[in-house]
Structures are given as C-alpha cells and as structure tokens.
Amino acid sequence: MTQLLSKDSWQYREINRRAPSLPTLSNALIALAEAGHPVMAGTADLQYSNGLSGFAQRYPERFVQFGISEQNMVSAAAGMATTGVIPYVATFASFLALLCCEQIRMDVAYCRQPVRLIGHHTGISLGFYGTSHHATEDIAIMRSIANLAVVSTADGPALDAALRATVDYPLPIYFRIHRGHDPVVYENGVAFELGKAIVHGLGKDITIIAAGYPVHGARRAMEELNAAGHSVGLIDMHSIKPLDEEAIIEASARSKVILTVEEHTILGGLGGAVAEVLAEKGRGARLVRHGIRDEYSLIAPPTHLYRHYRLDGDGIRAVALESLA
C-alpha cells in the first residue's frame, strides 16, 4: 500500500494544479473496478505523474507501489495475472518499453498474460528531462513482440474508451499515452475498437495517418488545408498492432500521398508499419514518413520540441504541402 500525500500539502496542490487531466487513467480503472472487473493497478513511484493516486485512494487494497523497480513491477504483474486479476502497471514509456523489454517479452507476452502496460509521457513530452526520458523508440520495440497489442490514443476521451473496450482482451496490451495535458480531439467521446482505425475522411490529394498526440495537430492541418482548396483526409491509427490494413489500402487507392505522422523515430514505428502494408498491398500512393529522423531528440521545453520537429499543426501542414509539391 502506498503512502499518499495529504490534500492540504503543497505537493498535492502543486501536482493537481499542473496536471488537471491526469485522472483519466485513474477514473477509467475505478469505473472498471466498480463494474466488477478484477482490475489492479501498480506503478513505479509515479502515482502522481500518471494519476493513479486517485485509484489508490479509492481502492488501496488493489494498488501496489513498487518504487523505482520497473522490471520487478512488470514481472510481478505477470504473476498477478496468473491468479485471475487484470493488472494495469504504469511508468514512463522510456523506462517501460526499453528498460523492461526482456520482462515484457518473456514474462508477459510469451506467457500470454493479460497485463496492461501503460507507458506514459511518451515521445518528447518530458522535454528537459532529456534523452534518458524521451521515448522515441517504444513503438518499434513493442510492436515487434509477439502476442502484444500496441495502442496509442490521441487524448483523454480516447484513452478512456480504449481502456473500457479492451478490459476483456485475453492478451497483453501496451498503451502509449501522453502526459495528461493533451489537447482534446474527441470532445464528445469516441467509439474504440482494437484493430479498427478512426477515419476522419480520405483525401484525393493526401491522407494523413497519425497516432497519439500528433492527431490533434494533424486534424488542424487537415482542416486548414481543406479550407485552402486541397483535398486532405485523416486517419487516427490508434491501434498500431493489430493494424487496420483495410483503412491503409483504401487510402492508398484514393490518395496521391500517404503522410504518416508520429512522435517517434520514423524507423520501425507507425510509418514503418504503414510502409509494410503499402509494400505488399498498396494501390500506388506515395508514402512520406514524418517524425523524428535517425537521431536522439534534443533537450528543450516540449512546445519548442514539437515546433522544431514540426509535429504541431503548423509543422504538419508545412510537411503536407511539401509532400504534395
């Protein structure tokens, strides 16, 4: 059981002032527990960064604070799953996907245990924390592991829908989520189906395929380009594995260019997954992969990094126009 901060403490007030939307994960798990699902939650000393402090307060007997022991947390979660519970364990994505890769592969995925791996603060969202905390390789690593699904949600409502829709999924899932300050894409909620993309339209000129945080900027870019007379579509490929191949094939048949956008290296991530489908089954569209090149990301405030790597709305719009040219 964890020791929680008092609501009167300055630490509690500061955490909740800075992260008003963090309870999404916690609230979804509370709702699942109240519905009778045998969920448990665990974290590696980050219950305030990922919002699981709320779940811990509501269900202290279902919450485990593992401390700074990420690999042990993953192995313990695999053991918990063998007893019939559904463990949701969360830590920074850079630690979960890279540091715990061996435990995820052998203890969780190889043994087909229904563990939910929550990698938060993905991509370059930790800014000044630097390379050790930037998760720009996790999609490539996780989608290469057999039996492991990979989900990258665009905002809080999408995460809530994904957690609820997959509670009974019999195999493990890696959830790639941002930092809790995500701009809302789905104001009125969204239906989630594993393996089925959300298609916001297909463009004759270009269709953008994005996942996670960049979906918001991609939607803005799509709207501005369409208003300027171009024909641009958008696919939210939240389910990176299993991948919605039909949506990709249909887009390649209707668009001149497919532009993938991801807060991740362009090697092996969403762009790589789409490239594999197009190479085998594509209908002629040209593919442009946009993300972080083969390099380590810079250290700066997240907003500066998104602008530098052209992962905000203005940057995505500029890349789309360059792709068309």
Low-confidence ranges of the chain (pLDDT < 70): 1-23
Cis omega before residue 242 (within 30°)?
A: yes
Which candidate, 69, 146, 81, 71, places its Cα nearest to that of 113? 81
Query: Under CATH, which number does the domain 198-324 receive?
Result: 3.40.50.920
pLDDT tens digits along 94-123: 999 999 999 999 999 999 999 999 999 999
Q: What percentage of the chain reaches a pLDDT higher than 70?
A: 93
Task: Report how far residue 214's alpha carbon sits from residue 236's, in angstroms, rounded to the nearest whole number.
Answer: 9
Task: Report how far residue 119's alpha carbon sits from residue 116's, in angstroms, rounded to the nearest whole number.
Answer: 10
Query: Between the CA of residue 239 and those of 49, 50, 52, 255, 270, what are the distances in Å?
Result: 24, 21, 23, 21, 10
Task: Report how far residue 158's alpha carbon sits from residue 283's, in angstroms, rounded to the nearest whole number.
Answer: 30
Secondary structure class of 19 (helix, strand, coil):
coil
CATH 3.40.50.970, the chain: domain bounds: 10-176
Contacts made by residues 244-251, CB under 8 angstroms, sequence distance 24+: 244/195, 244/196, 244/197, 245/277, 245/281, 247/196, 247/197, 247/199, 248/209, 248/274, 248/277, 248/278, 248/282, 249/277, 249/281, 249/282, 249/283, 250/202, 251/202, 251/207, 251/209, 251/285
pLDDT of residue 180: 73
pLDDT tens digits along 262-296: 999 999 999 999 999 999 998 889 999 999 999 99
Task: Report how far residue 90's alpha carbon sits from residue 88's, in angstroms, rounded to the nearest whole number.
Answer: 7
pLDDT of residue 7: 38
Length of the chain: 325
CA dihedral over 51, 153, 71, 130, signed as positive or negative: negative
pLDDT of residue 181: 75
Which candidate, 205, 199, 247, places its Cα nearest to that of 219? 199
- Identified catalytic residue from 14, 34, 70, 262: 70
Q: What is the pTM of this model?
A: 0.91
Catalytic residue status for 70: yes
Q: Which CATH number fits domain 10-176: 3.40.50.450, 3.30.420.40, 3.40.50.620, 3.40.50.970?
A: 3.40.50.970
